[in-house]
Each structure stands twice: as C-alpha cells, then as structure tokens.
Structure 1
Amino acid sequence: MAKRSSAGETDRTVASDLADDDPRLAFIYQEAVRGLTHQQTVVENMNTRAGSLIFATAFANSLLGGAALSNGLGLWDWTAVALLFGIGGLIVFMLWPYHQYAFRFDPEELLNQYVDGDRLATMSAMHRALALRIKADMAGNWRIIQRLRMALQIALLFLLLDILAWLLAIAGV
C-alpha cells in the first residue's frame, strides 16, 4: 500500500529541497560575478583612456600643428592631418555606445525562470545556471573588449606617428 504524504510533509520536502545550498556553487557564482565586475571595470578604464587620448591628441595637434602650418601645407602636414582623422575615427569607434555588453541579468527573466515557473529552483541550481550564463556573457563581452583594445593601440600608434609627422613638417624635411 502506497504511503500518502500529508501537506506538512510536502512543505518540509520542498523546504529541504530549497535549502539545498552547495557552498562550492555559491563560491563559483561569486567568482563569476567578480570576473564580470572586473570586465566592466576594464571597459570603463578603456573609456577613460579614450578620453585621455582625446586630450593628448588635441594638445599635440594644437601645439605642433600651429607651428607646422605657419610654413604652408606640405607632405608631412597632410600626413599629420590624415593621421588626426584616423585617430578621431578610432576614438569615435571606441566611445560610440552601440556595443552590446552583458553585465547584468534581466530581473523579469530571472523571476520567470526561477521563481514563477512550474518547478522551484534550488539556490545551488540557480548559482550553477547563472555562473554558466555569466561565462557566456563574459566571452561575448571579451570579443568587444578585444576590438576596443586593438582600436586604442592603433590610435596610440597613430598619435605617435602624428607627432612625428608634425615635427618633420616643422623641421622642413
């Protein structure tokens, strides 16, 4: 004969299932969140560096460009102006707000998936699923960050070449 569980036993079973909280999964989830927070800091630092690049470019071009252009336009002047436009384009690429970063979860989606669904999820199951999702988000973010890092490096190289071109124009080479 099958034993029927009372409502109290069912509540205790659900409560014990929901109390299943593996500290290892909680740790892994916290580390995943820490990694995602670090990525967000990297993006903010890249934006700050782009701002510094704007200042450095403006300063160098106003200081050196004025002196170089007083002699008229030559090959090095045009080269410096072309490099200036290249730097400007790269800065716009870095700062344009079209990048699709994933640094947080949609609360409505979390509620639908873990609270309001047919089956209640344990904290361990949530930590595991969200840690894996963070990993996927970090991979997507990293592709964007790599492109921005490359654009910053190219822009810095262009700035050095721009300064060199202005100096050559001033020297009359």
Structure 2
Amino acid sequence: MTERSIETGQHVARGDSDARIAFIYQEAVRGLTQQQGVVENMNTRAGSLIFATAFASSLLGGRALADGLGTWDWVAVALLLGIGGLIVFLLWPYHKYTFRFDPEELFSQYVDGDKATTMSAMHRALALRIKADMAANWRVIQRLRVALQIALVLLLLNILAWLFAIVQAGR
C-alpha cells in the first residue's frame, strides 16, 4: 500500500523510512544539542567571570582604595560597573531559545491529523525546523558571545586600572 508524502507529494510505501533523511535528522538534532552546550558553556564562563572580577577587585581594589579615591580608582570602579552590567546581560534568563519540540504540536501535526505522515516526512520537516531554530538561537548566542568578550577585555582593563591606582598611591 502506498500513500502520498505530505512534504514531497511523491508516493511512498507505508512505513518507508529513508535512511538518508533519518541521518540528516539525527545530525540536525546533534547540532541543536551542541548549540545548547554552547549556551550552557557561556553561562559557566559568565560565572567564572563573576569570580575573577570579585577576586581581582577585592584583592587589588582594597589596596588601591586604602589611600582614598584617585583618578585610576574611579576608572576601575567605572570598569567594574561595566563588567557588572555585562554579567547581568549574560545571565539574564532568555526565553527565546528553542531546543526542543512541543509534544502537543507534534501530536496534532503528525499523529492526530487527517493526513498520514511517514517517518521520512516527519524527519524531513523536523530537520528543517531544527535548522530554523538553530538560526534563531544563534542570533542570541552571538550577542552573548560579544558581551562576554567585551566583559573579559573590561576585566583586563579593570585589573590594569587597579594596578595603576596602587602605583599612583605608592608615590
């Protein structure tokens, strides 16, 4: 018995599962899983940035501020505030990520509908949907990546500002 595929319009045997389409679907899922790992890794790095900033500021800032506030102290404090703002941006909960499908939507689209859907057609449609989800996720990830890079540069500048403040106070 054959049926007409929803996606291609071609007649396919019932229960037909094209191994090529299944492979592409599995690769799409693997890519989405790796992308989710990137997001989790960036959250971990943001946590490490919090620790490094707190450690450097407490160690160097305490020494630099012992003699009052000078120009370099104000620069370091401003950089500290900038880093804090970027950390908040990095850790703010985003709800625009898409890493999984809605089961109710899948049931209504592929199981409970009037049209029979083959596994190959499902895999093809879902792989294309994963591609679109990955592109949308990537836009958010790129903004977070840039924010993390800027925060790391600000941390380096913050450490330098604290060191300059200490040297200036020692004169």
Check whether TM > 0.5.
yes
Matched, 1:59 2:59: no
Deviation at 1:37, TM superposition (A): 0.2
Per the TM alignment, residue 152 of structure 1 is displaced from its structure 2 partner at its CA by 0.2
Deviations 1:90-144 (A, max 9, x none): 0000101034100000000000000001101000000000000000000000000
Structure of higher CA gyration radius? 1
Mapped partners of 2:41, 2:69: distance in 1: 37
3-state secondary structure, aligned to 1:98: coil
Mapped to 1, the partners of 2:65 and 2:2 lie a distance apart of 82
Q: Between Structure 1 and Structure 2, how many residues are aligned?
A: 161
Residue 86 of structure 1 is matched in structure 2 by: 82
Structure 1 residue 78, shift from structure 2 partner: 0.5
Q: Please tell me the root mean square deviation across aligned C-alpha atoms, in Å.
A: 1.2
The residue aligned with 1:136 is 132
Unaligned stretches of 5+ residues in structure 1: 1-11
Aligned partner of 2:69 among 73, 80, 84: 73
State the percentage of identical aligned residues.
Answer: 78
The AA in structure 1 aligned to 2:154 is F
TM-score (norm 2): 0.91
Query: Structure 1 runs of 4+ off > 4 angstroms?
Result: none
- Match in the other structure for 1:164: 160
Name the TM-score, length of structure 1 as normaliser.
Answer: 0.90
Alignment correspondent of 1:22 = 18
Letter in 1 for 2:116: L
5+ residue gaps, structure 2: 4-11
Provide the secondary structure at the position in 1 that maps to 2:67: coil
Partner letter of residue 34 of structure 2?
Answer: H
Partner of 1:3: none
CA contact under 8 A between 1:20 and 1:123: conserved in structure 2? Answer: yes
Once residues 145 and 99 of structure 1 are traced to their aligned partners in structure 2, the CA distance between those partners, rounded to angstroms, is: 12
- In 2, the alpha carbon distance for the partners of 1:59 and 1:139 equals 37
